[in-house]
Amino acid sequence: MSNERPWLAHYPDGVPAQIDINAYASVAAVLEESFERYRDRPGFCNFGKQLSYGQVDELSRQFAGYLTGVLKLAKGDRIAIMMPNVLQYPIALFGALRAGLVVVNTNPMYTARELQHQLEDAGAKAIVVLDNFAATLQQVVDKTEVKHIVTTGIGDLLGFPKGTLINFVLKHVKKMVPAFNLPHAVRFRDALAQGAVHPMPKVSLTHDDIAFLQYTGGTTGVAKGAMLTHGNMVANMLQAGAWIGNNTKPGEEVIITALPLYHIFSLTANGLVFMRLGGLNWLITNPRDMPGFVKELKKSKFTALTGVNTLFNGLLNTPGFAEVDFSRLHLTLGGGMAVQRAVAERWKKITGIPLAEAYGLTETSPAVCINPLDIKDYNSSIGLPVPSTDVAIWSEEGQPLPMGEVGELMVHGPQVMKGYWQRPDETAKVLGADGWLHTGDIARMDENGYFYIVDRKKDMILVSGFNVYPNEVEDIVMTHPGVAEVAAVGVPDEHSGEVVKLFVVRKDPNLTVEALKEFCRENLTGYKRPKIIEFRDSLPKSNVGKILRRELRDEKKAAPTSA
């Protein structure tokens, strides 16, 4: 098999080819081990308040007691969690998993329509929601099966007087909590108090039990729930854990968790992998407040940081970031979208640490490939497949392609989802009977087993029969010193079918269309050069900061193009 897995020869020292997926029966079993082993270590920190592993154990036990003892929820029932990164999130999450419930991670920024679809589709019976977003829930809750609502304020676990003050300021000064009326809702702290008198339920969980319904595909139509089992999550925790293991010191890591934990990348990489290592998750509730984020970094003595390209780019452009103490930082992992060369190179220059790109999908829990953490410089690759994972490049006809050829990236491994919740037709489109998952990403593999994403199938631009990959164009344009952010999309053209259009946020307000076109003429071959350039104050982004090319494309379909 070795000739089919050239990547194994290039694994970092000490990383095994296979993991032992049977090391843990469930995610809950991993949690129990960490609570026991790291009892007195800090586990989560937010707004200056720390909870130890022992405290998280106790509070999540109380929450599990509430879910089963008071609400009488049973194994397999779905519970939605609609919160940003606050201390209540891990408590609700771990309590639900320990009670054998299926967690439905819900984006707090959802519109009423999106929220209703998700709650109905999942058949959620209960929801934990932050006060700031309760007004949205109020609009739709009667149209869903949700019977139990737990509400909480950002400051509820921060203690007196700080928590009280934060809640007051958010509600009355910043007006960030719209009025809502949910008469039967219970406060989070009351739920913990009620749950404390009930023993933690004894639930037996296996690898086949569903741990999460992780919704995906909202950018391509109706969102679908990927069924991620306890086996999927345990596998990915062990795969990522094996990859970073030699670089980490159990019980001593501090990971900055700025991406929301309801997003699969942050949930697995930060919330679970570092929990198993006894690390401290330093929760950033609002990473969009970049100056505030930099202040937190200065307080935290952090050792690891995960993010998406836009987050790293934002930090690099925030005054004060260069003065942060990076002396303990040894791991920076980028995922969720392509990491751009210009951003990675600046990151290394300022922090001294390479920005290692990783690749994954909601459907793979998420990690598929990660770069070796000892890479010296940015290599434009998504890295090597993680242990126990096969990756191949297939043709449109479903045949494996030889090395170096460009085709669809396919994945096989224990982290691949069970399927989409109640959507056998959608599942069949991406998951073969042989267990191979179609990713919809276009990629190639080199002779050392490194994979390179060329682009998303649906984002590819076809200019006179030539494939133009937006990532490549964006990467080049980002090297222009006057550019802060860029998105490339295809717009219809009667001569060439499509042409490249750029949407650019300027760093230099004096940058002109002509100057940027001249730069593209020097750096891109004819058909790849943008024919239209439009300057914008901002670009549409997803909840984790991924630039939404689709929204820009749809906008163009609706409006006539202008140079």
| pLDDT per residue as tens digits for the range 325-341 | 999 999 999 998 789 99
pLDDT at 493: 86
Point out the least confidently predicted range of 114-118, 135-139, 443-447, 461-465: 461-465
| Statement: the pTM of the whole predicted model exceeds 0.85 | yes
Task: Tell me the pLDDT band of 558, cut-offs 50, 70 and 90.
Answer: low
> Taking 90 as the threshold, does the pLDDT of residue 322 lie above it?
yes
pLDDT at 19: 98
pLDDT tens for 116-136 read 999 999 999 999 999 999 999
123 sits in the region (left: phi over 0; alpha: psi -120 to 50; else beta) called left
Distance CA 173, CA 556 (A): 39
Edge-to-edge order in the sheet of strand 148-152:
186-187, 148-152, 126-130, 78-82, 102-105, 210-216, 224-229, 419-420
Contact 476, 442 (CB under 8 A): no
**Between these two residues, 464 and 356, which has the higher pLDDT value?**
356
> Taking 60 as the threshold, does the pLDDT of residue 2 lie above it?
no
- Mean pLDDT within 59-82: 98
pLDDT at 221: 56
To the nearest whole number, what is the mean pLDDT of the chain? 94
CB proximity list for 88: less than 8 A, separation 6 or greater: 128, 130, 152, 156, 157, 188
* Number of other CB atoms surrounding residue 402 within 10 Å: 8
pLDDT tens for 456-473 read 777 889 887 777 889 989
Distance CA 397, CA 404 (A): 17
List of domains in the chain: 53-205 (3.40.50.980), 460-558 (3.30.300.30)
> Taking 80 as the threshold, does the pLDDT of residue 557 lie above it?
no
- Mean pLDDT within 387-404: 95
pLDDT-above-70 percentage for the chain: 97
Point out the least confidently predicted range of 169-173, 302-306, 540-544: 540-544
**Between these two residues, 133 and 559, which has the higher pLDDT value?**
133
Contact 226, 215 (CB under 8 A): yes
pLDDT-above-90 percentage for the chain: 87
